[in-house]
Amino acid sequence: MLVKLVAEQGGDGLDLAGAIAISAPLDLAASADALDRGFARLYQQHLLDSLRRKIAAKMRVTPLPIELTPEQLKRLDSLWAYDNQVTAPLHGFTSANDYYRRASAGHLLKEIELPTLILHAADDPFMPANLIERLPAPSDAVRLEIADQGGHVGFVEARQGRLNSWLARRVARQLQDWMTIPHPLKRLASRS
């Protein structure tokens, strides 16, 4: 959502020095497909269990504008099925395909004007391994870093015999870099 906002709003439209996206599903359809294969199906099942519980609880309290019984909800066995029957109709999309196409940010990477750091791991089970190759080249404002390992928002490293968060260190370094860049709002604040 952040990458899509930054791309659509433009660099001048947001009061931000930059944006950082971590393990963002830039292509929702590709991510739904990736989660429906192999070991990643365990993650999909966990996500679906949580989503179904939340919607079932809402369905017990108030009627929802979807044509789905609690029994049918229980049988939704993929993110595609869930998004087609629940997410899309609840949020004004015609189908999961329509939702994935309109809500994905990957095709907008070339439009980004605001400095943006996108961190991914090649072994992220939420995304196909060749995801970045399938997207258009990002604009010069985008720095795309792909770690060999990191899973989905994992990015743990061994340093001095201990496990540490590479992600926290990398994000802190990026924020520090942006703090050294003159920013119009910092200049205005210092004059007052």
pLDDT digit string, tens, across residues 110-166: 999 999 999 999 999 999 988 889 999 999 999 999 988 888 888 887 778 888 788
The last residue of one of the domains, among 42, 77, 103, is 103
What pLDDT score does 148 carry?
A: 85
pLDDT tops 70 at residue 183: no
3-state class percentages of the chain: helix first, strand second, coil last, to nearest 5: 50, 10, 40
State whether 189 and 128 are in the same domain. yes
- Which of 25-29, 139-143, 183-187 shows the lowest mean pLDDT across its residues? 183-187
Residues 46 and 137 in one domain: no
Give the domain extent around 121. Answer: 1-26+105-192
In whole numbers, what is the pLDDT of the chain averaged over residues? 89
**Spatial CA neighbour of 7 closest among 101, 99, 96, 115:** 115
User: Could you tell me if 71 and 98 are in contact, meaning their C-beta atoms sit under 8 angstroms apart?
Assistant: no
Same domain for 113 and 97, yes or no, is no
> Mean pLDDT, to the nearest integer, of 59-81?
94
Which of 55, 83, 103 lies at the terminal end of a domain, its last residue?
103
Q: How many domains does the chain have?
A: 2
Write down the pTM of the prediction: 0.84
Is the distance from CB of 145 to CB of 48 less than 8 angstroms?
no
* 88-108 tens-digit pLDDT: 999 999 999 999 999 999 999
Single out the residue in 103, 125, 156 at which a domain terminates. 103
Do 131 and 93 belong together in one domain? Answer: no
Q: Are residues 15 and 76 in the same domain?
A: no
Cα–Cα distance, 148 to 123 (Å, whole number): 7
